[in-house]
Amino acid sequence: MIAYRIETTPDDNGTLLVTCPAFPEVTTFGPNDPEQLASIALKAIEEVIASRISEGDPLPREATAVQRKRHKGVYVKLPLLTALKVQLYGAVREAGISRAELARRLGWHREQVDRLFRLDHASRVDQIEAAFKELHRDIDVRVMHEVA
């Protein structure tokens, strides 16, 4: 699970200002409704992640379980496909290879690899898995009970 802490500050018009310490660029607002606020924060965080990936910039590490316990508050969890793309982006950066090199190794067109990093593209899991395999990584999925 990849989750980022958000902070909310009451605004003067009945809304809440939303920021994310891991992503200083995230500044948005929303109603004082936890579900709507989480959705708005997630969209803002995904926009920043997409922008950083597009620019080749590093992404901050997600909050660990220890950090989440220590810093009680609101955490926004990335959807599965977004989390996989974030992990793949990190693995490619860690391997020190370009997307063009990954495409060459996979025998794919560069555009196919580029789509694996676009958060607005519904990439196929088997393609993401193939990219991880080429990087000598394995995907491990766990299904857990939802924590209230």
Q: What are phi and psi of 6, to 5 degrees?
A: -120, 155
Domains of the chain: 3-77 (3.30.160), 80-134 (1.10.260.40)
Q: Determine the pLDDT at residue 147.
A: 65
Closest residue by Cα to residue 133 from 98, 82, 95? 95
Q: Determine the pLDDT at residue 148.
A: 57
Measured from the Cβ of residue 46, the count of other Cβ atoms closer than 10 Å reads: 19
Rounded Cα–Cα distance for residues 117 and 38 (Å)? 23
Q: What share of the chain is helix, strand, coil (3-state, %, to 5)?
A: 45, 15, 35
Closest residue by Cα to residue 91 from 47, 32, 135, 33? 135
pTM of the model: 0.91
pLDDT block averages, 10 residues each, the chain of length 148: 91 90 94 89 97 96 82 88 97 97 97 97 97 96 79
